[in-house]
Amino acid sequence: MEFPEELKYTEEHEWVLVEDDVATIGISDFAQDALGDVVFVELPEVGTVLDAGKTFGVVESVKAVSDIYAPISGEVIEINEELPDTPELINTSPYEDGWMVKIRMSNPAEAEDLMDAEAYQEFIEGEE
Amino acid sequence: MTIIGGNVLKKTPLNEVHRELGGRMVEFGGWEMPVQYRGVIEEHLAVRGAAGLFDVSHMGEIEIRGPGALEFVQQVTVNNASKLKKGQVQYSAMCYPHGGVVDDLTVYRFDEDHFLLCVNASNTDKVFAWLEEVFEEDGSADLTLRNVSDEYAQFALQGPASETILSRLTDLELGRIPSFHFYEALVAETPVIVSRTGYTGEDGFELYFAPADAEKVWNMLMDAGSEDGLIPAGLGARDTLRLEMGYPLYGHELSRDISPLEAGLGWITRLEEKDFIGRDALLRQKQEGLKQQLIGLTLTEAGVPRAGYAIYSGKIKIGEVTSGTMSPSLRVGIAMALIDPEHGAVGSPLQVQIRNRMAGALVVKPPFFRR
């Protein structure tokens, strides 16, 4: 299982890539593996304002429904248009092709509260 | 034993093998079972296109023997077991006097006075207690009733390549076994009951044998089938496969509160041919009209219907989803639902409430998947 160093992670298993004031959000390799085959993704519309810690979408596998939580606050500026038709990208490429939304951060300092790759790996080892 | 949620779970003889194969173990009907190995969709499609091997040793088996066996089976099941010849299998159900379902099952006839019932894992103890109760109430029946679940491991080899694979491990002429027939034969050097039945809609076999032989039979089958695309398949695929065929699952489409008529099992319920426990109530239901009806639904927009979701016709709630999934073969949401029969005509547009939105759906007649 991979946990890229350049990403930040949450306890709800989302990842965030921060570039300037834009954050890209997806779910981790651990999350996609636990869910199994992803068959449906519900994403917010562009322009939606996300509050950190609140749900903003849903990922469904064959067996389970899982909420996705916003790791960081901000306005959605882009969504991954490929996901409605090919939700399996979340399984095959959780950190790249399976990204979910990009937001313009309203409070970039929130990113400092997130876990780095090492802390996240320790966190999930504790969960197992 | 493994403890999940405070319950001591039973394990099949294959438990260690499942773990070595990367099986994800979950609780099901009091058993620790693999829900998937590499992925539900891959396993599902393997069964539709080649073959999958399922460990279904959790299923229960009850033996009924003696001069009174046939009469007793007739009394406790809704289908007509007197039609069974030796070596034949029948899908059936067991009802309470009020018409609700104790369990659905397969009835195997070994001889004039020798039957084996294959019942759901989670219902085995309940079914056996119910049969004992009926037996003791009658008092005169000349038969023995035994819960032989611990004497059998069971695998389901399912998919179009099943016959080719199994033929490599037995001298039995598989081509001569029609659907819903069984033979006792040596398979993989092991005495096996070979039954041409399944729960997937594909050709295939259900194999019953001594638990001590389980690992050997599994390994020999996997070796024999590897070149044909045989892979291990878990309960997740078993569920999506049966759902694509519209087969009911006890606890979802069947229960104490759902009759076989309501669940669309009128075709096995022989009201006109014989008497059985629950018949009076079912005749009354038929006469008065059903209060609920099991239907198939195909979503006309994106989404995954799931058990418990409400079904609407316009603004009126008319029922609930009993089982639903994203069909791996069709790639659309499919569901079975119990609804007010007034709205159940094939082709009717209905809505499924998925979280805070209403998803369009059409009433269809299962099976959802056809070859």
Position B61, amino acid = E
Partners of residue A36 in chain B, C-beta under 8 Å: 24, 36, 39-40, 236
pLDDT of residue B45: 98
Q: Domain A8-106 is of which CATH architecture?
A: Beta Barrel (2.40)
Q: Nearest CA to CA, how far is B24 from chain A (Å)?
A: 10
Nearest to A62 among B302, B326, B355 (CB): B326
pLDDT band, very low/low/confident/very high, at B3 (cuts 50, 70, 90): very low
Comparing C-alpha atoms, which of B328, B331, B323, B258 is closest to residue B296? B323
- Domains of chain A by residue range: 8-106
**Closest chain B C-alpha to A1 CA, distance in angstroms:** 15
Predicted local distance difference test score (pLDDT) of residue B7: 62
Closest Cβ–Cβ partner in A40, A63, A65 for B236: A63
How does pLDDT run across B212-256, given as a tens digit for each residue? 999 999 999 999 999 999 999 999 999 999 999 999 999 999 999
- Structure-token match 């849903």, residue found: A58
Per the CATH hierarchy, to which homologous superfamily does domain B60-140 belong? Aminomethyltransferase beta-barrel domains (3.30.70.1400)
- The topology (CATH level 3) of B3-56+152-244 is Gyrase A; domain 2 (3.30.1360)
With CA atoms as reference, the chain A residue closest to B357 would be A42
Q: Per the CB < 8 Å rule, is B236 touching A62?
A: yes
Dump pLDDT digits (tens) for B246-278. 999 999 999 999 999 999 999 999 999 999 999
Residue B100 burial by Cβ neighbours in a 10 Å radius (0-12, 13-18, 19+): middle
Output the six-digit token pair for B206.
């259900």
Sheet holding A65-69, edge to edge: A38-42, A55-61, A65-69
A40/B326 touch (CB, cutoff 8 Å), yes or no: yes
Q: What's the whole-number mean pLDDT along residues B45-61? A: 98
Q: Which residues, in sequence order, are CB contacts of B41 under 8 Å at separation 6+?
A: A37, A39, A62, B328
Residue A128: per-residue pLDDT: 67
**% of chain B beyond a pLDDT of 90:** 96
Omega into B367 within 30° of 0, i.e. cis?
yes
Instruction: List pLDDT tens digits, range A41-55.
Output: 999 999 999 999 999
- Average pLDDT taken over every residue of chain B: 96
Are A84 and B39 inside 8 Å of each other by CB? no
Residue from B292, B233, B218, B220 nearest B40 by CA: B233
pLDDT band of residue B2 (cuts 50, 70, 90) is: very low
pLDDT per residue over B99-115, tens digit each? 999 999 999 999 999 99
Q: What is the DSSP string of A51-90?
A: -TTSEEEEEEESS-EEEEE-SS-EEEEEE-TTTTT-TTHH
Span A7-28, average pLDDT: 97
Give the integer Cα–Cα distance in Å for A100 and A83: 8
Q: What is the pLDDT of residues B288-297, one digit of tens each?
A: 999 999 999 9
What percentage of chain A carries pLDDT values higher than 70? 99
A63: closest chain B residue by CA: B236
Range with lowest mean pLDDT among B75-79, B136-140, B177-181: B136-140
Res. B5 pLDDT band, cuts 50 70 90: low
Is A58 an 8 Å CB contact of chain B?
Answer: yes
Cβ of residue A34 closer than 8 Å to a chain B Cβ:
no
State whether CATH 2.130.10.30 applies to domain B292-371.
no
Mean pLDDT, residues A11-28: 97
Give this complex's ipTM: 0.91
Domain spans, chain B: 3-56+152-244, 60-140, 292-371
CB contact under 8 A, B40 and A62: yes
